Structure 1
Amino acid sequence: MNKKLWLWLLCCWMICCNLLAQDFESYLEDNAEILGDDDLSHLYDELLFLWENPIDLNHCKEEDLQELFMLTPQEKEALLDYLRRYRPLDTVAELLLVKGWTALSLQKVRAFVCVSEADKAEDRHHTPDIGAWQVKQKLNYRIGEGVRDSAYRGSILSHSYQLSYRQHQHLRAAFCFDKDEGEVWGDHSGGYVEIGKYKALQQLILGDYRAYFGQGLVFSGALFGGKSHAGTSLLNRNKVFRAQNSYAESNYLRGIAALVDAPALPSAKKASVAICAAWQRIDCNLKDSVFSSIKTDGKHAYEKDMNKRKNVWQLTSALRYESMHEQFQWAVNGLFYHFSHAWMPEWQAYNSYYFRGNMGANFSVDWRWRWKQCFLGGEYALDHNGQKAFIMHLNTKPHGDVNLFASLRRFQRAYQAPFAMTFSEKSMVSNEEGLFLSADFRMLQH
């Protein structure tokens, strides 16, 4: 009888693990077709970290819930209101009682949250935590020619390593090494050390990271900020800085970033200051002391690729002050960037207004306002030439399975912001003026 009980418990545990893994995989599948390879890699890393470090709903703060970027702003606000009223929770299934939540809402976060016993909150802080190490190794061996250049006669073996360490939310560190086909060992390496939640310090990163300032007009991740496939992501209050430990050899910053509490206005709940500085070499098509484009695939198997490897310095610095009120938030953003060589794209009709030169700057004011199930936000920006850009978003959720979004973008054609978020990959915001409408209907659940 005892043996049967253990077998039954084991089967239940395996079924639960399988369901959580399916939630993880289904979220990746939903985004695989609309995200580029780099953005999908970043999404996987963020989901994996949340899966390995679930948020404790009985002890989390408002800032912790911002990690659940898969939720809409309305779902986050409803969850926060429910936790304030009814904490402590007994099971994660209680989230079905959150106003406006459906079974789909629970499915999106079930793998990334947990519920602990409320009376053990104090003991938790006195329990020594020595942290956890993790090592990953990946080997790839190409079978057949595929799309490989027929003249290539080098190794068809690629391998990479990742080493990570974490100690609750106070310390995280990670390092990675990657070698693609035909490359010498050590072609790419990166990593970071992250310290968080100590007195006025909310977050400190040394190493590789991505930064998100404003709502898309100034600073969204890194150079070529990817595409904003889902409008609701622009109104989500995501983390300003995200540590980066990926095999991707582009689309990140390398340097230092800090987020600290700041003096707040009398009418504000709190305020924060985010500051970062990055200096790194990037791959460019450099000729006669100017470069026409940036190489982002990270491949260095041929001599022509080696000549483009890390041949231009990129310096980036940014500052953000954010003030948060009860239903309203606003922020001021500033960005400065400099390249060691001038960026001069070959002139074409579509890129006649692209950035040209070796330095530039952007400034903006962004805001976000909530009223019941409606979220309204926007951003007004200037570049170093005085060119203006404006964006406004409206998001409403009239029903738990219906999500409506509208975004109006207006740019002066010469507005230059190479670090801004775009709708299409490798594009610039000056090419994307107009009205964007989207509707998300979830009528059938499976």
Structure 2
Amino acid sequence: MERRKTLASIPTKYRILTLLFIILFEGIEIQVKGQNQTWREYLEQLAEEGTDGTTIENMYEELTSLENNPINLNAVTRDELQRFPLLSIDQAWAIADFLEKNRPVYTVYELRNVLALDYATIERILPFFYVGEVGDRKQETLGEIIKNGKNEIQNRFDKTLTQRAGYGCFSDSILARYPNRKYLGEDFYTSLKYSFAYKDKIQFGIVGEKDAGEPFLKTGYPKGYDHYGFHLIVRDRGILKTLALGDYRLSFGQGLVLNNDFMISKSGTSNTVIRNTIKPKRHFSTAENGFFRGAAAAIGIKNIMITAFYSNKYIDATISEEGNITSFKTDGYHRVPLDMEKKNNTREEVTGMNIHYSNNRFQIGINGLYYRYNRMYNPVLHDYNTYYLRDSMNTNGSIDYSYRFYRLVLAGETAISQNGAAATIHAIEWKPATPHIESVSLLYRNYSKAFQASYANAFSESSHIQNEEGLYIGSTLYPFPRTSLTMFIDIARFPWLRYNINKPSSAVDFYAMTSYSFSKNSLFDIRYKIKRKEKNTTYPNNTTTSVLPYMTHKIRLRYTGTFKNGWNMHTTVDVNRYRTKYFPKEYGYILAQNIGYSGDNKISGDFFVGYFHTDTYNTRVYSYERNILNTFYMPSFYGKGIRITLSARYAILRNVILSVKGGVTRYSDRNTLGSGTEQIDGNLRADIYTYFRWKF
């Protein structure tokens, strides 16, 4: 069924758009740069663009921890900068080079002298750094570590106030016939975290969590929380650069063999498409999948770094009558008997190694990964998954490289799976010696339809690193005074069938965001995004299925203002349009206003109200509301209704903080919300969220 197709077969108008995009790189002048997107707004953008929820939660937890424990620019190492999530490899190395030549620095704003950093990145990373004196680098004793370390306890409690069907009363006869109609546990979410950290040298933590509907300290469930996690990280003890015990994450190369750290969305920024090998780091979020459990170590000897790890843990899976795995359950919910049948029913073992050589501007790595399950993985056969892994084990290997010139970075990786299929990715990031072009990125990837790598997570349009060829071009420009413009176009083709697409297909993704700074505290931005993809479609009153293109247009206008008395505001208008060829157009919009106050050291708060109106789920919109401390939550809505939230944070003592938020969503186009066990009889949903943090 395969059809030969090249990137040249993409419709002519999109090839013309690409050429126009390239032409924009020339003849633009700049006088003042201006765009100040916070890192939280940056994560909101990634979430809206479809970045995996586990990835967002991991990023939010890590960035929050870094913000609470900022890094001294006068003591930071090259290795620490390479681990920092919001920097590309070129940016990390450029900062390190700058600091080696200019230490001591006297203000964080000296980062503006680093040529590899664009204005938006600088504004985004400033909260994570400070300037201080360089301390004594001698090895600390255990007593000194315990005395000078920081302890932190976090407790979160959330509850939906409106009744959901899964918490109703059912007779024994009904439950005997339909046991999955009722949740096994209570109607609240709660988590508890304890962490100890000494700088970034020692990190220790324990986490316990239960989702709403999961049993908590009930008879028959003696464990208390549904999920527990533990980690211990030790860094920089001689040649032992990192030791991780318990739960951890890591990434090799560009992610074609292994990446359960996180991957920046292609719409996030134009100059962070290149990744680098990441030493083991802790997994301290409440996400119940996407991490390893066991031990990992990174050893450095001169220019060579060797990272090896082993993971052995139980995971959730759907098992067929023959005893084979048909799919993996990754939502982490264990609320009904069917969930409990899938809980921890499969053992997963993963082991791997990375040997990394670095010499000034050149780096090369060799990566290997082996994993197996205690039963056969054999998903139900369909045409689209013909080339999926069907085995109890698999092996991957790859070679990755990067070379950094003064203003140019080349990087890539080529990988192979046990069946002999290959995948390759190569990228260029260029920072011209002109003030009007901040950066230009070019990335090409080609993933065989038969490439099998379950732990890969690299740059792609689809969720699987398989069956894709694509070309990405992105740039950040400054066309007018006080104005920035970030753009990209990504053209991809899929040589084999995909889920819900019964023939080879293609996709085109175009994004442009321009920001104008009226002043340091006043910003207006406009974002436009258009995506063209294909899917199976059945015409009304017709049983024939055809593959038709569909297009999604998204426009967002937002004004952000910060005032001297501690007040701030965000006004947002989002408009979406969706249309499948030959079918009617669908529209959706949201008008939202957020007003915040942070002028008092003891109390701060936010009020959000948004009115949304969408025709279908295809034109759903997102709420840009502020959340309680140390949590990320960005709900989407479709239909007609209004969303109102009020949040407050109060510092009970200097190191004790309580954060509370209430949210209400009222729909005007329906009398029931949700479905199944989550159904609410009525048109209103009310939630309350609380968070408590104690540092000592």
Instruction: Flag whether TM exceeds 0.5 (same fold).
Output: yes
Please give the per-residue CA displacement for 1:389-424, whole angstroms capped at 9, x wherever unaligned: 222112223367633222222233222111111556
Q: How does 1:45-64 map to 2 (within 5 A)?
A: 45-64=61-80
Paired residue total: 417
Q: Does 1:280 align with 2:313?
A: yes
Structure 1 distance, partners of 2:276, 2:342, is: 37
Question: Larger helix proportion, structure 1 or 2?
Answer: 1
Counterpart CA distance in 2 for 1:329 and 1:103 is 27
Aligned counterparts of 2:64 and 2:278: Cα–Cα separation in 1 = 16
Alignment partners' CA distance in 2, 1:376 and 1:385: 29
**Paired residues of 1:291 and 1:344 also in contact (CA < 8 A):** yes
Q: CA deviation at 1:353?
A: 0.9
Per-residue CA distance 1:191-214 (angstroms, 9 max, x = gap): 201111100000001001112012
Give the 3-state SS of the residue equivalent to 1:46 in structure 2. helix
Alpha-carbon separation, structure 2, partners of 1:430 and 1:32 = 23
Q: Report the CA distance between 1:45 and its aligned residue.
A: 1.2
1:190 aligns with 2:229: yes
The alpha-carbon distance between structure 1 residues 378 and 226, as it changes in their structure 2 partners (threshold 3 A), is closer
1:251 and 2:267 correspond: no
- Cα drift, residue 100 of structure 1: 4.8
Aligned residues: percent identity? 28
Residue 394 (str. 1) matches residue 428 (str. 2)? yes
Residue pair 2:155, 2:193 contacting (<8 A) in 1 also: yes
The 5 A counterparts of 1:245-324 are: 245-262=284-301, 270-287=303-320, 288-324=322-358
Does structure 2 conserve the Cα–Cα contact (< 8 Å) formed by 1:216 and 1:420?
A: yes
> Match of 1:66, as an amino acid?
Q
Which residue identity is paired with 1:96? Answer: R
Residue equivalent to 1:140: 158
Question: Mapping of 1:414-425 within 5 angstroms?
Answer: 414-422=450-458
TM-score, with length taken from structure 2: 0.56
What's the counterpart of residue 33 of structure 1?
48
Moved more, 127-136 or 57-66: 127-136
1:360 aligns with 2:428: no
The amino acid of 2:155's aligned partner reads Q
Other-structure match for 1:403: 439
- 1: CA distance between counterparts of 2:130 and 2:468? 41
**Structure 2: which amino acid aligns with 1:192?**
H
Alignment check: 8 A CA contact 1:169 1:197 kept: no
More strand as a share of residues:
2
**Equivalent residue letter for 2:284:** N
Change beyond 3 A, Cα 1:48–1:142: same
SS at match of 1:42: helix
Does 1:385 pair with 2:400? no
Which residue number in structure 2 is paired with residue 332 of structure 1?
366
1:170–1:77 Cα change, 3 Å: closer
- Is the CA contact 1:68–1:109 (under 8 Å) kept in the aligned structure 2? no
SS at 1:351's partner residue? coil
> Is the CA contact 1:422–1:428 (under 8 Å) kept in the aligned structure 2?
no
Structure 1: give runs of 5+ residues left out of the alignment: 1-20, 265-269
Report the residue type matching 1:279 in the other structure: N
What do you get for the CA RMSD once the two structures are aligned? 2.7
CA shift for structure 1 position 300: 0.7
Greater than 4 Å deviation, 4+ residue runs: 120-127, 145-150, 225-228, 230-234, 422-426
**Is 2:246 the counterpart of 1:213?**
no
Q: Which amino acid aligns with 1:31?
A: L
Unaligned runs of at least 5 residues, structure 2: 1-35, 169-180, 216-223, 478-483, 486-514, 518-522, 524-696
TM-score where L is the length of structure 1: 0.86
Could you say if the C-alpha distance between residues 216 and 353 of structure 1 is closer, same or farther in structure 2, counting changes exceeding 3 Å? same
Deviations 1:13-43 (A, max 9, x none): xxxxxxxx98343333333323221111000
- The aligned residue for residue 144 of structure 2 is 128
With over 3 angstroms needed to count, the CA separation of the structure-2 counterparts of 1:125 and 1:116, relative to structure 1, is farther
**In the alignment, which residue of structure 1 is the partner of 2:20?**
none
Query: Cα gap change, 1:336/1:124 in structure 2, threshold over 3 Å: closer, same or farther?
Result: closer
Counterpart residue type for residue 229 of structure 2: G
Bigger mean CA deviation after superposition, 133-142 or 53-62: 53-62
Task: Verify the 8 A CA contact 2:252 2:277 in the aligned structure 1.
Answer: no
Distance 1:260 1:391 in 2: 27
How far residue 102 of structure 1 moved from its aligned partner, in angstroms, is 4.7
Looking at structure 1, the residues matched to 394 and 138 of structure 2 have their Cα atoms a distance apart, in angstroms, of 51
